[in-house]
Amino acid sequence: MDHLIDQILRKTVGLSFDASVFGWIIAVAFILNIALCVRIVWVKGSRPNAALAWIATLFALPIIGLMLYLVIGENRIGAVRRRRHARIVQEIAGISQEWTDPRVLASSMSTTDTQMAHLGETAGAPPVLNGNLLQLSGDPAEQLQWMIEDIDAAKQSVDALFYIFKQDATGTAVAEALGRAAMRGIMVRLLLDDIGSRKFLRSHMRKELEGQGVHVTAALPASILRMPFKRVDIRNHRKLIVVDGKIAQTGSRNVADPNFKGGETSKVGAYIDSWIRIRGPIARDLHILFLEDWGLDAGLHGSRKLPDEPTLEVGGVPAQVIPSGPNFENNMVATLIEAAIQLSRREIVFTTPYFLPDSATLAALEVAARRGLRVTLIVPRANDNKLVALASRANFARLLDAGVELWEHRHGFLHSKTISVDDELAIVTTANLDRRSYEINFETSIVVYDNAFATQLRRLQQSYLADSDRLDEATWQKRGTLARFAENLANLMSPLL
């Protein structure tokens, strides 16, 4: 056997390497993989599909599988970072104040809304707060205008957190507004994901902002040296601006031109996003969420005192902030989505750029459609992630068979992440319908318990449908064998993504 290995290494592969050494490497890798399998069963026992996929990978590719698991196998954000987060949460809780206006906590909601709100609270989310005025926009020019207007109107602080910050026209406009605020004496903090905004964080534009007084920090720094201690692809995927602790903006929009990946000249097209502007009490919860993230990488500089609490807005509606991420040690995104499906009575509509749900969410969608609900899923036709696009399509046949309406948006890249339930409840989120958002990324979801806002969101979703084509089950079943095989092959890797 050693002779055969030696011949393969020398003559076929072209390596001058002793076969016995190679055998020892394989043997050691095998022993390590056995030990790792024990850990996988211990850590991932509640997710048998993921556990079996990793075990199969380890034995099929002993060395590569071992390296992959050490890098991306577990959601390790680092013991030091986890302890730091616990201290930050305690410290911010100490400086937070109880609401002086009792009406903020006195929301009148339906039984369904109350159940959803209670679900969030039991997972550690803040309670539902009343008196929020919300504006919804699907227009990129209007979204940018809101950002600039609120930053220019700041009197005390501007806190911004984004996954992607580009040095294009949009990035320049936002950077100039942040610089103007800092030069007026406003406390300005900019937290950017180290992977998503890597070029900006190493750019001259960052240096200019810091020269103007803007505090810029990289979220979740990633490097090869950190790999043994934490999973480097855990990312802060939030998009958030908070001004004076009273006005907040969030949604799927990054600080980038809509066509930052090529626009009409690329197969993906311009990004299509949803964005909300909030005045009222939940802006304070979003501010606290920013401070927690900021403290993880920059300490609590300048955050010892929160601004005065936002006032309850006349005509405002109840809403709730649902944060999620590996430091929360919950599966809140998946739980929130499954609860929305289960609580819906007539119709539920999803828009998402990446559709790679776990088996529980997939089953919930099927059951909802089979019990007579209108279940609509809108995804982009062209996707910027080919592997995820293939894996998601592997699930389309079973959803179509169950009666789920599947629509492919044909103009641009539909990046909006929204859920509307019965025109009564609305969710605007940074999270995708995929495992990365479920278990790995730091995400933010806003649940709005108001019929009028839910109807407004439903109209925005309807505009997406107008530019989409519905998949026909019979036509879908006729696609080629090669396409089906590629989709199923990609889907086998889905528990690892």
Q: Which residues are catalytic?
A: 237, 239, 244, 415, 417, 422
Tokens of 255: 């600080």
| Helices 19-44/62-72 angle, 10° precision | 40
Report CA Rg, the chain. Answer: 24
Exposure of 212 by Cβ count < 10 A (0-12 exposed, 13-18 middle, 19+ buried)? middle
Q: Which residues pair with 188 in a beta bridge?
A: 158
Q: Residue count of the chain, please give it.
A: 497
Residue 80 CA: distances (Å) to CA of 86, 229, 234, 294: 10, 10, 15, 15
Distance CA 134, CA 132 (A): 6
In angstroms, the CA 464 to CA 460 distance is: 7
Nearest to 97 by CA among 288, 290, 279, 241: 288
**Alpha carbon distance 307, 106 (integer Å):** 22
CA distance 341 to 425: 11
Q: What angle do CA 324, 83, 327 make, to 5 degrees?
A: 10
Q: Which residue has the tokens 């490497």?
A: 25
Where do we find the tokens 């996954």?
Answer: 163
The answer to whether 419 touches 381, Cβ cutoff 8 Å, is no
Report how far residue 443's alpha carbon sits from residue 421's, in angstroms, rounded to the nearest whole number.
21
Both tokens of residue 16? 């001058």
How far apart are alpha carbons 176 and 180 in whole angstroms? 6
CA contacts within 13 A on the Cβ side of 201? 19
Which residues neighbour 31 within 8 Å (Cβ) at sequence distance 6 or greater?
Answer: none
Specify burial of residue 387 (Cβ count, 10 A radius: 0-12, 13-18, 19+).
Answer: middle
Q: End-to-end distance of the chain based on CA atoms, in angstroms?
A: 36
Encoding tokens for residue 45? 């026992």
- Residue 295 is inside which H or E element, if any? helix 282-298
